[in-house]
Structures are given as structure tokens and as C-alpha cells.
């Protein structure tokens, strides 16, 4: 099926067009620059930016893919989770588009979309089930057991406090680096040593593992970095930004990969799929591949351009649902800012597609 996907859960207006599992176009307009000076996304600013960007983005995506609106078989949209106002703009636009074209509408989960991005990897083999999935983004850090992307996503564990991306953003701020923190920490870490400082690995003690084997915690790590920065300042020393960045990054990467591979071992699943904006981190990808290799686990990583928020992953998930014969959503759904990852599609209708 030819599917147009609309993503507006945060600060990226993403329009993607896919045919089956083939990516045709992926247009992303970001309001990031408007938020940078506030050190985080301002919901009202993001919603208004989506409103302005949607129409030109849809036109650009159609132009890029060489298809016309009339050829689209289905419309897909992120229903949640995300910022309520931002989501609402996308949901409204998707309903209007589906109704005016007379095409089915699929309202899907943003987080499952991050995982569905893997399907669009043209070099990779078809996704095999079950697979463990590590989802690391700005708002979420979750370990999932995916038995089928269209029917069965189980939450094994998640962060008890900050998301990994959020930790990158907060630590960047502590180090005086701009928002968003991930890429800036990466750059600073390049000239630092990962072994310079031993930062804590959250929920990794034997006593934590009994109850929180697949859960994460990054707030203690953030506090440890803050204390380190304070102490060097109090001692009148320059903060060794490169070493702190590299050691912090290592602590995050270590705990993410360790827990993901523990899940693979426990469930005897030799497959690990990575998804979410933090996967853009090269060190994370390198360590995951190296340690998975040693453990006999195959790693799947979506193309980098599909790791951060985009419409193609939303279209890809809807395309999977359609190919699995799932009915479209009814128009009764709205934005759900706290939609759980186990709800792959919302407002499924009674009738088959």
C-alpha cells in the first residue's frame, strides 16, 4: 500500500511516504531553533510551528516521492504519546486529509513507530520475531519484547526517572553545552577519556536487579555529574568537559547495552533491535554491536535519518498493519499524550480494511 504518515508529537513536523516497506520520501521540518534558547521544547510554540509547516511539508513529500495525493491508499498519524497540543495538530490534519480523500486512516503509537523505522532499512533482511527492542529517545527508555510489531509488544522494563535522551540534554546543560545535548556531548566526548571518571550505572547492583532487571535510572548519574562539576568549580579548577562527557556517555551506553543483552539472554532471543533518537549516538551503536557480536546476538539499527522523529516510521507502521489485514481507525480518536507502548494502534474499527 501507498501510505502517507504524519508525525507531530514533539518539535518535528514529519511527513513520510512509503510503499509497502519501501521509503519514498521523508520530509522533516523542525522548530528546534525556536526552542533552543529556552533549553527545551515549548509546547505552544511547537504546536503553532506544526500548523504552519504541515501543508508545505505534505507538498514537499509528495513532490519528492513523485506521487500525487489521489494515489495515496491510506493516511497514518501519531496519536501519542507526545505533547498534547502538538499531537492534536497532526491528528486534525490527518483526519481532514483522510476524509477529503476518502481513504482509511490509521492512528498509531509513536514509540512503536520508532521501532517500525527498522523495516524501512533497504539493506536489511525482513524483521524476525521475537526480537528484543531497546527504545531510547528524548522522552522514553524502554526494553521491549516484540513478538509481532502489529499485534504484540510487551514492555519488559523502562526508566524509573529520566529518559536517556533527557539525561544527555540535562548533563549538556550542566556542562554549558547547547540543547539538544546528545550531539554536543558526543562532540565534546571525542577528545575525552571514557575511563577518566567512574560514574554510577543505575539499577545495576545485585540488590536492584532482583526487582529492576530491565529497568533504568539516570537521575543518580545526572546528580553525580552535577556534584563533580560543582566540586571542580569549588576547587577553582576548570571542569574537564571532554572527560566528563566521555565518562557520562560511557555510563549511559554501558547500562543500556548490558540490560538489553541480559533480556536477549533471559528470553533466549538472539536478536536486538535499536530505535529512538539516542541511537544517533555512535558510541552506543558501536558498543551494542561489539558486545552483541560477542554474545551471538544480531543487532538491527535503522538508518540514522530514521532514528529521530519522522513521518516515514509512522507510515511504515501503518503499512505493516494494512499488510497484516488490520482495519483502519475510526475517526473518534484524539491525541493521547500518555499512550502506552503496548497500544500499537488506537480506535481500531470493527470492519476489515
Phi, psi dihedral angles at 257 (to 5 degrees):
-70, -40
Establish if 319 lies at the interface with Fe ion (CB under 5 A): no
Choose from Fe ion, ligand ATP, Mg ion, none: what does 183 bind? Cβ within 5-8 Å by kind. Answer: ligand ATP
DSSP 257: H
**Residues between 295 and 314 with contacts to Fe ion, criterion CB under 5 A:** 309
CA 162/CA 171 separation, integer angstroms: 11
Decide: residue 51, CB within 10 A, 0-12 exposed, 13-18 middle, 19+ buried. Answer: middle
Neighbours of 24 (CB within 10 A): 19
Kindly tell me the sign of the dihedral angle through the C-alpha atoms of 339, 40, 116, 301: negative
Q: Which residues contact 333 (CB under 8 A, 6 or more apart)?
A: 79, 91, 107, 346, 347
Tell me the closest approach of the beta carbon of residue 95 to Fe ion, in angstroms.
22
CA 198/CA 239 separation, integer angstroms: 16
Q: Is 311 annotated as a binding residue?
A: no
Q: Provide the mask over 71-90, with x wherever binding to ligand ATP is found by CB under 6 A and - wherever it is not.
A: -----------x--------
159, HSE (Cβ side, Cα atoms, 13 Å): 25
Q: Which is nearer to ligand ATP, 186 or 328 (CB)?
A: 186
Q: Which is nearer to Fe ion, 83 or 297 (CB)?
A: 83
| Residues 280, 183 contacting (CB under 8 angstroms) | yes
Establish if 10 lies at the interface with ligand ATP (CB under 6 A): yes
- State which of residues 14, 104, 180, 192 lies at the interface with ligand ATP (CB under 6 A): 180
Tell me the closest approach of the beta carbon of residue 12 to Fe ion, in angstroms.
8
Tell me the closest approach of the beta carbon of residue 297 to Mg ion, in angstroms.
28
Neighbours of 191 (CB within 10 A): 11
Establish if 142 lies at the interface with Fe ion (CB under 5 A): no
Q: Which is nearer to ligand ATP, 72 or 339 (CB)?
A: 339
Distances (CA, A) of 177 to 12, 41, 172, 186: 21, 16, 5, 11
Q: Which is nearer to Mg ion, 10 or 172 (CB)?
A: 10
Establish if 109 lies at the interface with Fe ion (CB under 5 A): no
- State which of residues 31, 137, 329, 345 lies at the interface with Fe ion (CB under 5 A): 137
Q: Which residues contact 58 (CB under 8 A, 6 or more apart)?
A: 4, 6, 15, 97
Establish if 139 lies at the interface with ligand ATP (CB under 6 A): yes
Stretch that binds Fe ion, among 57-65, 95-103, 130-138, 193-201 (CB under 5 A): 130-138
- The footprint of ligand ATP (CB under 6 A) covers 9-10, 82, 110, 114, 137-140, 165-166, 168-169, 180-183, 186, 276-278, 280-281, 308-309
**Residues of the shown chain interacting with Fe ion in the complex, contacts defined by CB under 5 A:** 137, 309
Amino acid at each position: 500500500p501507498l501510505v502517507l504518515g504524519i508525525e507531530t508529537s514533539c518539535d518535528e513536523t514529519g511527513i513520510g511516504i512509503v510503499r509497502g516497506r519501501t521509503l519514498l520520501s521523508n520530509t522533516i521540518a523542525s522548530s528546534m531553533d525556536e526552542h533552543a534558547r529556552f533549553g527545551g521544547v515549548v509546547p505552544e510554540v511547537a504546536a503553532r510551528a506544526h500548523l504552519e509547516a504541515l501543508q508545505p511539508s505534505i507538498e514537499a513529500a509528495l513532490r519528492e516521492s513523485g506521487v500525487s495525493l489521489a494515489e495515496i491508499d491510506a493516511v497514518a498519524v501519531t496519536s501519542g504519546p507526545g505533547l498534547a497540543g502538538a499531537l492534536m495538530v497532526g491528528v486534525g490534519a490527518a483526519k481532514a486529509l483522510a476524509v477529503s480523500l476518502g481513504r482509511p486512516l490509521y492512528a498509531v503509537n509513536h514509540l512503536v513507530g520508532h521501532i517500525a523505522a527498522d523495516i524501512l532499512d533497504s539493506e536489511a533482511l525482513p524483521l524476525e520475531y521475537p526480537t528484543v527492542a531497546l527504545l531510547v529517545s528524548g522522552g522514553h527508555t524502554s526494553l521491549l519484547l516484540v513478538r509481532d510489531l502489529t499485534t504484540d509488544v510487551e514492555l519488559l522494563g523502562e526508566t524509573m526517572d529520566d529518559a536517556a535522551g533527557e539525561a544527555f540534554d540535562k548533563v549538556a546543560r550542566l556542562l554549558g553545552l547547547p540543547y539538544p545535548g546528545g550531539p554536543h556531548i558526543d562532540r565534546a566526548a571525542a577528545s575525552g577519556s571514557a575511563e577518566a571518571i567512574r560514574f554510577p550505572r543505575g539499577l545495576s547492583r545485585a540488590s536492584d536487579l532482583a526487582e529492576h532487571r530491565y529497568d533504568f535510572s539516570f537521575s543518580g548519574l545526572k546528580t553525580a555529574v552535577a556534584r563533580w562539576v560543582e566540586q571542580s568549580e569549588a576547587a577553582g579548577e576548570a571542569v574537564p568537559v571532554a572527560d566528563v562527557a566521555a565518562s557520562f556517555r560511557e555510563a549511559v551506553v554501558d547500562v543500556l547495552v548490558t540490560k538489553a543483552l541480559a533480556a536477549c539472554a533471559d528470553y533466549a532471543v538472539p536478536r536486538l533491535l535499536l530505535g529512538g533518537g539516542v541511537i544517533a549516538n555512535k558510541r552506543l551503536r558501536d558498543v551494542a554491536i561489539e558486545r552483541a557480536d560477542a554474545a551471538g546476538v544480531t543487532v538491527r539499527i535503522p538508518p540514522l535519518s530514521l532514528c529521530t522523529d519522522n513521518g516515514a516510521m509512522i507510515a511504515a507502521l501503518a503499512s505493516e498493519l494494512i499488510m497484516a489485514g488490520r482495519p483502519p481507525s475510526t475517526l473518534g480518536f484524539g491525541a493521547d499524550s500518555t499512550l502506552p507502548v503496548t497500544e500499537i494502534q488506537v480506535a481500531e474499527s470493527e470492519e476489515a480494511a
